[in-house]
């Protein structure tokens, strides 16, 4: 390896954003929403376009989707959207200050079918503790999935966690109307007539 290509491990900490000022990032004080695992950024851009007075941040592990989002943000001069590449478990605690998030969206997360992979499910007690600290007092988490077993498991997780309550005044149809955005997976499910399960969990 040439000297110009060498990497100093001590530089790693400087590559991570930390505790960023969202008002400076967006040049406004509008509410900030977070999509965890934005994938193909259909939902991400629907939110940005349909809610001009809100800011949307997307986090995704697959870089190709973040690169796609960044190119579109620049090309279309979208001012209220930012996309970050990385593991949400690591990035979310670093990026956001306490009570800085208004709404969090978890859209069609990977169900990790094999038992040995269940530990990779994006939502767990530890991560819900993190989100609880970052979400404002009137904020909430929206979960959407086409996998009934996963939906039931996450319902039970929130019930056990006890820091968010299932706001049952919002059913699937009303949540869809509230969001005014559809992910790539949701569009595929609707085309195939598949059932979609949705819940809104409000911070206690």
> What is the per-residue pLDDT for 20?
78
pLDDT digits (tens, 9 = 90+) for 108-155: 998 755 766 678 899 999 999 999 999 999 999 999 999 999 999 999
> What is the per-residue pLDDT for 119?
86
Termini Cα distance of the chain: 54
User: Per CATH, which fold does 28-203 belong to?
Assistant: Rossmann fold (3.40.50)
> What is the per-residue pLDDT for 177?
95
Global pTM? 0.89
pLDDT digits (tens, 9 = 90+) for 47-99: 999 999 999 999 999 999 999 999 999 999 999 999 999 999 999 999 999 99
| Residue-range domain boundaries for the chain | 28-203
Rounded CA-CA distance 144/54 in Å is 21
Percent above pLDDT 70 for the chain: 88
Query: At residue 40, does pLDDT exceed 60?
Result: yes
Return the structure tokens found at 162: 């006890």
- As annotated, the active-site residues are 110
Beta bridge mates, 142 = 105, 200
pLDDT band at residue 12, thresholds of 50, 70 and 90? very low
């Amino acid at each position: 390896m040439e000297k110009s290509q060498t990497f100093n491990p001590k530089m790693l900490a400087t590559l991570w954003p930390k505790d960023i000022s969202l008002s400076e990032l967006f040049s406004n004080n509008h509410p900030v929403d977070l999509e965890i695992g934005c994938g193909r950024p259909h939902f991400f851009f629907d939110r940005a376009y349909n809610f001009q007075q809100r800011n949307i941040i997307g986090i995704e592990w697959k870089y190709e989707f973040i690169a796609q989002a960044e190119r579109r943000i620049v090309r279309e001069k979208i001012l209220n959207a930012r996309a970050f590449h990385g593991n949400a478990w690591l990035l979310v605690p670093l990026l956001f200050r306490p009570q800085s998030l208004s709404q969090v969206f978890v859209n069609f997360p990977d169900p990790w079918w094999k038992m040995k992979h269940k530990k990779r499910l994006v939502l767990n007690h530890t991560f819900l503790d993190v989100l609880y600290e970052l979400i404002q007092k009137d904020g909430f988490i929206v979960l959407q999935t086409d996998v009934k077993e996963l939906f039931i498991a996450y319902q039970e997780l929130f019930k056990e966690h006890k820091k968010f309550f299932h706001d049952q005044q919002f059913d699937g149809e009303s949540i869809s109307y509230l969001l005014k955005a559809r992910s790539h997976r949701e569009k595929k499910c609707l085309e195939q007539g598949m059932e979609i399960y949705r819940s809104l969990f409000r911070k206690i």
